[in-house]
Amino acid sequence: MSRVQFSKELVERLNDTEAVTVLTGAGVSAESGVPTFRDPGGIWEKFKPEQLANFEAFMSDPDFVWSWYQHRREIMRDVKPNPGHYALAEMEKYFAVFNLITQNIDNLHHRAGSKKVIELHGNIERNYCIKCRKHFDDIDICRKQVLKCDCGGLIRPDVVWFGEALPYNALKNAEECSRNCGVFFSIGTSAEVYPAASLPLVAKQHYSYVVEINPKRTAHSELMDEVIEGRSGEVLPELLNFIKLNKIEK
Ligand code: BV8
Ligand code: ZN
């Protein structure tokens, strides 16, 4: 017996649509043990984003910013995808068009088997030289000090910092699949960071049925068609079970 009740409207929308778009934030990885940003005990509680996740901070103290990403990389290497990640990966099979947009940089959606992942904010497993943009994705990440490229440039994590543009194709694809879906899920995000937080609004303006899955209310809860208050690691497997009962594998 499902502990999560899905509304009649969502049931009908999921049965009628062949296109689903999902936006995930740090909350989806919380149950894997990856700290979120703005929850109590989250990453930003100790440091402010402007102190760390921006280019000026990196240039003023490269070792400090690099060591912070090292610390986060080590956390992410030790954690595993949780049932929420695996449920999203399996959901892909039941819709002709299923797009997963993530703000997360932890690589957990890929590790759970999701094939179509749009990484809006980059990926902590990748690095590049700020001068020649050469990639260093398999460097010895156990170092605490920043590394230099053979061209003399500093090597930085391939993540989007505050004040930096999101990758052009990722944002274009994310907007495209937010405009063209029957159901849009916004899962585990406080909806405070733009332009990612504009995507549920885009979906709503294009007549999608927009659903939020989060244990807490967010800045966007009022505009949602439906809010499912719960943890993604519990709600998503139940949603998958419902979809498996009502949709055939593509
Ligand atoms: C840009 C990568 C322009 C690095 C990150 C004023 C108003 C509006 C916008 C702005 C403004 N001033 C400045 C801006 C723009 C700024 C912005 O939005 N600032 C905000 C803070 C006001 N945005 C930018 O700077 C972006 N760039 O605008 O560039 C431009 C254009 C052209 C040319 C040049 C420039 C860049 C933004 C990207 C920044 N990078 N991360 C890193 O990770 O180190 S942001 C960071 O926040 C992460 O990516 C994270 O994903 C993202 C959003 O946070 P969430 O994922 O939502 O996480 P959070 O902790 O906030 O919330 C967790 C949620 O999970 C909670 O709701 C919680 O209840 C829930 N939860 C907890 N447990 C569970 C759960 N849910 C489900 N299940 C659970 N178990
Ligand atoms: Zn270089």
Are residues 204 and 223 in contact, defined by beta-carbon separation less than 8 angstroms? yes
Measured from the alpha carbon of residue 106, the closest ligand is 1
What is the DSSP-derived secondary structure letter of residue 189? -
User: What is the fold, at CATH topology level, of the domain defined by 1-33+81-121+166-250?
Assistant: Rossmann fold (3.40.50)
Number of H helices, E strands in the chain: 11, 8
| Rounded Cα gap, residues 193 and 11, in angstroms | 30
pLDDT value of residue 200: 98
2 or 159, greater pLDDT: 159
| Rounded Cα gap, residues 51 and 223, in angstroms | 32
Using alpha carbons, list the distances in angstroms from residue 234 to 19, 41, 229: 23, 22, 11
Q: Say yes or no: domain 35-78+124-159 is CATH 3.30.1600.10.
A: yes
Return the ∠ at Cα 140 (arms to 136 and 146), rounded to 5°: 75
Q: Give which of 126, 138, 124, 144 is closest to 76, Cα–Cα.
A: 124
151: CA distance to ligand 2 center in Å?
Answer: 4
- Name residues contacting ligand 1 (CB within 6 A): 25-27, 30-31, 36-39, 42, 53, 103-105, 121, 159-165, 188-190, 192-194, 214-216, 218, 231-233
Three-state secondary-structure class, residue 17 = coil
Judge whether residue 230 has pLDDT over 80: yes
75: CA distance to ligand 2 center in Å?
Answer: 27
Q: What is the mean pLDDT of residues 98-103?
A: 98
| Domain range summary for the chain, segments of one domain joined by + | 1-33+81-121+166-250, 35-78+124-159
Nearest CA to ligand 1 atom 28: 163
142: CA distance to ligand 2 center in Å?
Answer: 20
Q: Which atom of ligand 1 is nearest to the CA of 38?
A: 60
| Rounded Cα gap, residues 190 and 201, in angstroms | 14
Judge whether residue 44 has pLDDT over 70: no
Judge whether residue 1 has pLDDT over 60: no
Nearest CA to ligand 1 atom 69: 216
Return phi, psi of residue 75, to 5°: -60, -45
pLDDT value of residue 36: 79
* Active-site annotation holds for 121: yes
| Rounded Cα gap, residues 117 and 170, in angstroms | 9
59: CA distance to ligand 2 center in Å?
Answer: 15
Nearest CA to ligand 1 atom 36: 162
**What is the per-residue pLDDT across 162-221, written as a single tens digit (0 to 9) for each?**
999 999 999 999 999 999 999 999 999 999 999 999 999 999 999 999 999 999 999 999
* Most informative mutation of 71, 119, 162, 238 for ligand 1 (most atoms within 8 A of CB): 162
Q: What is the mean pLDDT of residues 229-240?
A: 97
pLDDT value of residue 51: 76
- Out of 85, 109, 121, 220, pick the active-site residue: 121
What is the chain's mean pLDDT, rounded? 92
pLDDT value of residue 139: 66
Judge whether residue 129 has pLDDT over 90: yes
Q: What is this structure's pTM? A: 0.95
110: CA distance to ligand 1 center in Å?
Answer: 20
pLDDT value of residue 45: 67
pLDDT over 90, % of the chain: 77
Using alpha carbons, list the distances in angstroms from residue 29 to 35, 74, 84, 187, 189: 8, 15, 8, 10, 10
